[in-house]
A = this chain, B = another copy of it.
Amino acid sequence: MLPLAESLNRRIAEQIPVTAHMGLRIVAWDGEGLRMEAPLAANRNDKGTAFAGSLASLAALAGWALITLQVEERLGAASVAVCRSEMDYRQPVDGDFQALCRLSDTEQVKDFWKQLAVSGKGRLPLTVHIQQGGEERGRFLGTYAVSLVSTSG
């Protein structure tokens, strides 16, 4: 884990208090891929499986964290927000669960970086995989809006 990810975990828990109740935290970050984890116990529903809202929260937050880390590393402070999402709940989750996402160097991602550098704003679709024990249980597709935050003046 890089210091920036540790620092982002602290910011998330302080600034988005519901994520602390859910126990959502970044557990791996290699500069390109990110993994967040959540315990089942804090996120159980009436069926003893993971609450749909917790799965959606973990996925949306993992995508947000990945983009925030990459933008802050490359270009500095930014405002990142999900503006649209789709979630496919494939199998019930009955244990601790993870969200995995990665920003690879596709043409779409390259265009996003160019757009962001030129205009200070950009939009990026991102897929997040929800897993339990290494097996995919859900898939999230989010579109994130990013604006660079001017720190001058």
CA distance A45 to B68 in the complex (A): 14
B87 touches A84 (CB 8 A): yes
Q: Which residues of B contact A116 (CB under 8 A)?
A: none
Q: How large is the interface on A (under 10, 10 to 19, 20 to 34, 35 or more residues)?
A: 35 or more
Q: Which residues of B contact A54 (CB under 8 A)?
A: 18, 53, 57
Tell me the nearest residue of chain B to A88, going by C-beta.
B84
B53 touches A81 (CB 8 A): no
A51 touches B57 (CB 8 A): yes
How far does the Cβ of A109 sit from chain B's closest Cβ, in whole Å? 21
Tell me the nearest residue of chain B to A22, going by C-beta.
B18
Q: Mark A65-93, 1 if CB is under 8 A from B, else 0.
A: 00000000000000101111111110010
A85 touches B84 (CB 8 A): no
How far does the Cβ of A140 sit from chain B's closest Cβ, in whole Å? 10
Q: Which residues of B contact A89 (CB under 8 A)?
A: 81-85
A42 close to B (CB within 8 Å) = yes
CA distance A82 to B46 in the complex (A): 13
CA distance A81 to B84 in the complex (A): 21
Q: Which residues of B contact A87 (CB under 8 A)?
A: 56, 84-87
